[in-house]
Amino acid sequence: MDNGTYEITVKGLVQGVGFRPFVYRIAHYYNIKGSVENRNDGVKIFARGKRSDIDHFIISLKEKKPLASTIKSVNVKQISSKDYKKFTIVKSKSDSDEITDVSPDIAVCPACLGDMKEQSHRINYPFINCTNCGPRFSIIKDLPYDRDKTTMNVFKMCDVCAGEYSDVMDRRFHAQPVACLNCGPRYELISKYEKTDSFEKVLNKTAMAINNGGIVSVKGIGGYFMACNALNEKAVKQLRQSKLREGKPFAVMFNGIETLREYAMVNAEEQELLQLWRRPIVLLKSRKNLAFSVSMGFDTVGAMLPYMPFHYLLFSKLNTPVIVLTSGNILDEPIIISDREASKKLLPVSDALVTYNREIFNRVDDSVQLVVNNIPRVIRRSRGYVPEPVDLTLNVNGIMACGAELVNTFCLGKGNQAILSQYIGDLKNWETYEFYCESIERQKKLFRVDPALIVCDLHPEYLSTKYAVDSGLPVVKVQHHHAHIAACMAEHNLDEKVIGVGFDGIGLGDDNNIWGGEFYICDLADYERVTHFSYIPMPGGDKATLEPWRMGVAYLYRIYGSDFFKLNIPFVRNLVKKNAEDIIRMIDKNINCPLTSSSGRLFDTVAAILDVCTYSGFHAEAPMRLESLIDNNCTDSYSFKMGKTIKVEVMIKEIVNDIINGTHEGEISAKFHNTVISIIFAAVNEVRQRTGISKVVLSGGTFQNRYLLQKIENKLIKENYQVYTPVAIPANDGGIALGQLVIASKRRELRCV
């Protein structure tokens, strides 16, 4: 009587993370007979045993699950009794159209690092992995997750590996990428002088090149990377020239957490994040100097810890504890994944190219995180995060969102899940656009999504918009900042009216002006623009984003007229007078001067007038420079005027006076940031008083500013607002696609599309 049969369905991130063998082992332990199998919609278990054993089994299922797995639901139902002789793992079948989460790539685990020193067939074997670790999304071509659907399919397991793969008590039981020295992928080193696939030589020569101040390009998990000694200024400078990358800081990898702590300030949350199986780059405050050209004068460093066996083996041979490890690409192209392209583009600018003979199927760059107010925030979502879906309360089935243009991602809707793509990049680049189109096709197939509705930005010139229009599907167009706010709402499952603050660089508004300093009352279907920064001409359009001095001139000209040339401040003294006069003519005659309310451009203006960044070497350099100057002890701020729009001319005037009076730039930067915080607070307060709405959503790239986000979030919480900020989804345009997806879903639900 006590024996019953139960059908248990587990949903979540349960494939490719050692879940079935884990289930097998606990079933064995609790004397349960039956079976476990991967279904497209989750893991299905049939369990027969004593009720008390079944209960323990289910508790263990939830509490002892593999490190990288996430359980979203466990459904238990008693079925008519079946007789099982033993517990078995049933071979995968794809009998349903639903999908289970495909696991992201997982950093090598400590047990495998141990095996690498002890197992005779895996001594120093750099492709070691087990059911708890190793490549996943980067090598998967189709579902269900089985070896023959990955790029491991060309490697035939040797008898030893096959034995481990089929031995249920082995850590590599059903580990799809299982491999060893005798049967798995191999590294190869290519240089001008030689070619070798002896791993000992590969490793020694790679280390020698880096130790000697050289540059090595290495095939990683989701693409090629370029590496050099991060303490050797000459090497880092050389790397910058090779990549044609002028100013954007490089990420670095440390040999361990102890060394990392020597060079950067790390709090508890940051340390946990650095050591997480996802192994992101974490943006930290610097403590001890690396070579100048790593961070280019910024007081922060993007740091990570080793995540591939190769990284650990390499560090054991290096005489530096830290290397630059930056995406292997030239200029704005996507990170290189093809071996041919690597030898064509990376080898000529490297002392050696280190490659291996397993194909990378899905390109995934390193992910980036930032901790603010003790909460880790995703800035770039790729390796270790993608393709984990976002669970929604809305039905987004059959919707595809095309994203924006810069830092593009796209998003597919499947039932109540949003599958946000990996970081794609700037679509204006042709190779990136190809990557975009290819990834859309692959992920539609992988996740079995056949879109019936497509959604894009209002901007007619975005390539993502053109993609949507050309698809032939019904198109929904979504305003950029509405999408920013909706993305954050989706993440926090908000479906009601909120006060939305959308601050970023650029996004087209519904009046055809360039928006970016916006206050909305909005829900998922629609928005009402409450107030925004007063419009100012953006001389030269997009060119102004690359040349902040243009915004500086636009503001000074508005305030002082042509008299601004007489201001005795470095910015004006250093202006090329003729260029500035051209800008004034453009403004007077309204030639190529779109109007903007962008907060990003306001940060540019202040950075320019302070003369700390008049030309931008990379996206958002000016605001980043300004932020890095902040004097944390300064609590003063400047004046501003609230009205139908927000006027900051008084503030600019006060900043100019401060510069003339010799006020320290750290103080000016702090006062400016504090003013922006006061503006947000004042505008939000006004809306609450009028409407009673107390939920505030802060979104858009400007909220990646650590100081700004920290202060405004705390200030609003203190005043009893419920504050929602981007956490698992980027605040920047990498989150736009998710926002578009939920807006389209809501409008479809309300039948407005």
Positions touching Zn ion (CB under 5 A) are 109, 112, 130, 132-133, 158, 161, 180, 182-183
Minimum distance of Zn ion from residue 111's CB (angstroms): 5
Residue number, 139 or 180, with CB nearest to Zn ion:
180
The item of Fe ion, Zn ion, none sharing an interface with residue 504, based on CB under 5 to 8 Å by kind, is Fe ion
Binding segment (CB under 5 A) for Fe ion, from list 269-277, 307-315, 503-511, 555-563: 503-511
Binding segment (CB under 5 A) for Fe ion, from list 464-472, 500-508, 534-542, 720-728: 500-508
Q: CA quadruple 419, 423, 429, 435: dihedral positive or negative?
A: negative
C-alpha span between 75 and 387 (Å, rounded) = 23
CA atoms within a 13 Å half-sphere pointing along the CA-CB vector of 298:
25
Minimum distance of Fe ion from residue 514's CB (angstroms): 11
DSSP code of residue 446: H
User: Segment 507-546, which members bind Fe ion (CB under 5 A)?
Assistant: 507
Q: Does 146 bind Fe ion (CB under 5 A)?
A: no
Produce one character per residue of 228-259: b if its CB has 16 or more CB atoms within 10 Å, e if not: bbbbbeebbebbbebbebebbbbbbbbbeeeb
Minimum distance of Zn ion from residue 203's CB (angstroms): 20
Minimum distance of Zn ion from residue 126's CB (angstroms): 13
Amino acid at 98: E
C-alpha span between 646 and 137 (Å, rounded) = 46
Selection from 543, 564, 526, 541 nearest residue 660 by Cα: 564
Burial class (CB in 10 A: 0-12, 13-18, 19+), 447: buried
Minimum distance of Fe ion from residue 706's CB (angstroms): 18
Residue number, 224 or 515, with CB nearest to Fe ion:
515
Edge-first strand order for the sheet with 411-414 is 390-391, 417-420, 411-414, 399-401, 453-457, 475-478
Backbone angles phi, psi at 168, to 5 degrees: -65, -25
Binding segment (CB under 5 A) for Fe ion, from list 8-16, 50-58, 273-281, 732-740: 732-740
Minimum distance of Fe ion from residue 699's CB (angstroms): 9
- Partners of 303 in the β-ladder: 252, 282
Residue number, 108 or 677, with CB nearest to Zn ion:
108
Minimum distance of Fe ion from residue 437's CB (angstroms): 22
Amino acid at 194: E
Binding segment (CB under 5 A) for Fe ion, from list 147-155, 333-341, 416-424, 504-512: 504-512
Burial class (CB in 10 A: 0-12, 13-18, 19+), 208: middle
C-alpha span between 703 and 734 (Å, rounded) = 13
Amino acid at 473: L
Minimum distance of Zn ion from residue 122's CB (angstroms): 8
Residue number, 339 or 627, with CB nearest to Fe ion:
627
Angle value at C-alpha 313, between 309 and 315, nearest 5 degrees? 120
Minimum distance of Fe ion from residue 246's CB (angstroms): 23
Binding segment (CB under 5 A) for Fe ion, from list 37-45, 187-195, 497-505, 545-553: 497-505
Selection from 535, 564, 558, 534 nearest residue 641 by Cα: 534
Token pair 């009205």 is at which residue?
Answer: 643
User: Segment 212-251, which members bind Fe ion (CB under 5 A)?
Assistant: none
Secondary structure percentages of the chain, helix, strand, coil, to 5:
35, 25, 40
Q: Are 705 and 626 in contact (CB under 8 A)?
A: no
Q: Does 115 bind Fe ion (CB under 5 A)?
A: no
Q: Does 405 bind Fe ion (CB under 5 A)?
A: no
- Give how many residues touch Fe ion by CB under 5 A: 3
Residue number, 223 or 309, with CB nearest to Zn ion:
309
Minimum distance of Fe ion from residue 517's CB (angstroms): 12
Residue number, 404 or 499, with CB nearest to Fe ion:
404
Count of Cβ atoms closer than 10 Å to residue 602 Cβ: 28
Among 115, 504, 621, 627, binds Fe ion (CB under 5 A): 504
The item of Zn ion, Fe ion, none sharing an interface with residue 133, based on CB under 5 to 8 Å by kind, is Zn ion
Q: Does 270 bind Fe ion (CB under 5 A)?
A: no
Binding mask 642-681 for Fe ion (x = CB under 5 A): ----------------------------------------
Selection from 430, 409, 396 nearest residue 524 by Cα: 396
Residue number, 146 or 733, with CB nearest to Zn ion:
146
Q: Does 733 bind Fe ion (CB under 5 A)?
A: yes
Residues found near Fe ion in the complex (CB under 5 A): 504, 507, 733
